Amino acid sequence: DTEVTQTPKHLVMGMTNKKSLKCEQHMGHRAMYWYKQKAKKPPELMFVYSYEKLSINESVPSRFSPECPNSSLLNLHLHALQPEDSALYLCASSQESRGPHEQYFGPGTRLTVT
């Protein structure tokens, strides 16, 4: 099973809402990632978790709060977002963050902030 699942597929939220994106993998991978992709742009890394610890934060605003409750789950908590945060949010996992391991991506959550 090489599947990374993400829920929800689509999310519309107001600027005062709090919502969460969820990502799950059952491949035994110990590294998980959040990427953001704006329309017609390549994905940009936001966060990396390695062995359930945050190892990279690409200077992401605090209105995005990642959480890794266990080795299979990755959440992204959203609060007080801006319309410019509307994008496709992609989750990925790999065997480890170091080494020649490929990343497996989920289908993404398309977020619209109104």
Interacting residue ranges for another protein, rule: CB under 8 A = 4, 33, 42-45, 48, 55-56, 88, 90, 92, 97-100, 102-108
Distance in angstroms (rounded) separating the CA atoms of residues 29 and 10: 25
**Nearest residue (CB) to another protein, 9 versus 83:** 9
Distance in angstroms (rounded) separating the CA atoms of residues 59 and 91: 18
**Nearest residue (CB) to another protein, 85 versus 97:** 97
Rounded to a whole number of angstroms, the minimum distance from the CB of residue 22 to another protein is 15
Rounded to a whole number of angstroms, the minimum distance from the CB of residue 81 to another protein is 21
70, burial (CB in 10 Å: exposed 0-12, middle 13-18, buried 19+): exposed
**Nearest residue (CB) to another protein, 55 versus 82:** 55
The region, left, alpha or beta by phi > 0 then psi within -120 to 50, assigned to residue 7 is: beta
Residue 76 CA, chain-centre distance (Å), reads: 6
Rounded to a whole number of angstroms, the minimum distance from the CB of residue 73 to another protein is 18
